[in-house]
Structure 1
């Protein structure tokens, strides 16, 4: 079988579309359609069937994909070893999915590490959507993602950090220096953050403790919390504890321990499952992992002037 046909098959399988496959392979859509026709005759199977706007694989396509993908990846890595990948010459564009806190805390370290070796490489930061992430990584919509959520699918990943949670509140809040048990936690006025990628794990721990809460205030961004909490004598927020401790250095905030058990969340770096640009992705994956593992994060950039709330 023509090796190019295998590449076309893998591209269609991963992108679920002829146009997207053609774009990845730098060929025309008619060329992809023609190659798919040859594949269908070779394997005596339709391989992909139209389902709305996507091309869904048949059972035979699902069964042969792992072998075809592994073969292409092996060939590409062998060729990369011969030609070598020089990050200093790379002008490739990579997309990295990060949460709001990921952008604030880790992106500066990531950018420094990448530009130190690959000054012309381009990075596009994509807002993290945990629900869409498995599909994005499977199709190559994003190249890397950092999230504490365990994703379904056969994606390579590396553990970056373990993170606990605590309760942030104003130093003027009566709970700042009183007994802080589960009853006090339940009775308090809570503010939640929509962009918290650790929210599912936090909610699960709260349910196990019988501490499900109904937030009085819901905000979209973590950057809103320090001034909001500082200005309130009632609101509390359950957030990553090291980040809250950093805020407490310049805002009139204190951090209390959770009044229930919650295991630390594991922040992992995931890489896409698709096969294109293998050597460059290998380099970026390792570079980003080292950058985040070696950084304590720059969450202090959300700083205040230390003034007390009114």
Structure 2
């Protein structure tokens, strides 16, 4: 039997979930593969509870926390879906203008985990804005499977335009100090790389967690500093890193990459069994230090 991680779950199960979550296999195939583990003694309940999100575990900062105020704000996106919206979280114990961070979700809409990340940033003193790519379809539907299916039906180019519009909206917010950073996870990590590349002066600091790079022809435009966060076991994303690093060096980009030992894709997401608290805490501490250096 293979090496086991997180409640004695075989690594293959995490790899299968990653493939399922990113379109590499359908749900029926995913469940069938999990069934092969049941046949050798694993409980399906144990497997699914470890792999599928439980958002009750993901609230580190309550929406009732007195140090923050959360609202929903809309913005125009003329080149995207026309109108966008997101979750805006503001510190209540700060005065004057604030450094700003755009928070970008995975490929399933603005789920509770990503909203909590926005609250964590506001708690740390940032104006945080987390757009929902699914807003044109009614918003995050309440579960990741449906959210993933919804986002898959959308035009990728229009989604990208919506996030560019969101970045410009929050950068120009009355409470903004004009210094914009971005952090994103999975699809959101890709979007951080894309925002850094599509307009050289849009963001000044980006933290892509396990995200693939923007298209090769755009990478020469990157001027923002990047803090790249990768999980050692994430073969799908990691195979894009050597070429991306070469292009960053050629473009003279200030960057640093951290590879987290024995960490899976999604290791920062504390709602699933892929969560690795030690690596997630370290990656988050590095993220906050990076934004404090670049944005404050």
TM-score tier after normalising by the smaller chain length:
under 0.3
Q: TM-score, normalised by structure 1?
A: 0.24
Greater relative contact order (Cα < 8 A, sep 6+): 1
Higher-Rg structure is 1
